[in-house]
Amino acid sequence: MGSGEWHVEKRSSLKSELSKDIGESESSQECGSLSIIVLGASGDLAKKKTFPALFNLYRQGFLPPSEVHIFGYARSKMTDDDLRDRIRGHLIPRNVTAEISEDVLNFLHLIKYVSGSYDTEDGFHLLDDEISKYECQKNSQEHSKRLFYLALPPSVYPSVCRMIKLCCMNKSDLGWTRIVVEKPFGRDLESAEQLSAQIGELFDESQIYRIDHYLGKELVQNLLVMRFANRLFLPLWNRDNIANVQIVFREDFGTQGRGGYFDQYGIIRDIIQNHLLQVLCLVAMEKPVSIKPEHIRDEKVKVLQAVNLIKDEEVVLGQYEGYKDDPTVPEDSNTPTFATMVLRIHNERWEGVPFILKAGKALNSRKAEIRVQFKDVPGDIFKCNKQGRNEFVIRLQPSEALYMKLTVKQPGLEMSTIQSELDLSYGQRYQGVVIPEAYERLILDTIKGDQQHFVRRDELKAAWEIFTPLLHRIDKGEFKPISYKPGTRGPAEADELLAKAGYVQTHGYIWIPPTL
Average pLDDT over residues 241-259: 92
Beta strands 354-360; 338-344: pairing state: antiparallel
The whole-chain average pLDDT of the chain stands at 87
Exactly one of 275, 346, 453, 507 is catalytic; name it.
275
Q: Looking at the predicted structure, is the pLDDT value of residue 435 above 80? A: no
Which amino acid is located at 136 in the chain?
A: C
Which amino acid is located at 277 in the chain?
A: L
**DSSP secondary structure code for residue 142 in this structure:** G
* Active-site residue, 275 included: yes
Q: Residues in the chain, how many?
A: 516
SS3 32: coil
Q: Looking at the predicted structure, is the pLDDT value of residue 486 above 90? A: yes
71 has which bridge partners?
37, 112
pLDDT in tens, 71-130: 999 999 999 999 999 998 888 765 555 566 788 889 999 999 999 999 999 999 999 999
- Cβ pair 284, 303 in contact under 8 A: yes
Window from 5-19, 305-319, 454-468 with minimum mean pLDDT: 5-19
pLDDT of residue 403: 87
pLDDT in tens, 190-207: 999 999 999 999 999 999
Band the pLDDT of 388: cuts 50, 70, 90.
confident
Band the pLDDT of 508: cuts 50, 70, 90.
confident
Cα of 309 vs its chain's centroid, Å: 25
pLDDT of residue 377: 84
Q: Looking at the predicted structure, is the pLDDT value of residue 3 above 70? A: no
Q: Looking at the predicted structure, is the pLDDT value of residue 489 above 80? A: yes
Domains (range + CATH), the chain: 14-182 (3.40.50.720), 215-434+454-500 (3.30.360.10)
Helix, strand, coil in percent for the chain, rounding step 5: 40, 20, 40
Band the pLDDT of 235: cuts 50, 70, 90.
very high
Average pLDDT over residues 335-363: 96
Average pLDDT over residues 138-157: 85
Window from 52-66, 155-169, 367-381, 498-512 with minimum mean pLDDT: 498-512
Q: Looking at the predicted structure, is the pLDDT value of residue 413 above 90? A: no
pLDDT of residue 18: 44
pLDDT of residue 14: 47
Most distant CA atoms of the chain, gap in Å: 82
Window from 7-21, 34-48, 484-498 with minimum mean pLDDT: 7-21
**Alpha-carbon gap, residue 264 to 335, rounded angstroms:** 8
Q: Looking at the predicted structure, is the pLDDT value of residue 7 above 60? A: no
- Cβ pair 100, 3 in contact under 8 A: no
Window from 268-277, 287-296, 405-414, 434-443 with minimum mean pLDDT: 405-414
Percent of the chain with pLDDT over 70: 91
For residue 335, give the nearest of 361, 314, 368 by alpha carbon: 361
For residue 450, give the nearest of 9, 13, 8 by alpha carbon: 13
pLDDT of residue 98: 53
pLDDT of residue 31: 57
SS (H, E, C) 150-217: ECCCHHHHHHHHHHHHHHCCCCCCCCEEEEEEECCCCCCHHHHHHHHHHHHCCCCHHHEEEECHHHHC
pLDDT of residue 140: 61
pLDDT of residue 137: 82
For residue 282, give the nearest of 210, 227, 337, 331 by alpha carbon: 227
Band the pLDDT of 142: cuts 50, 70, 90.
low
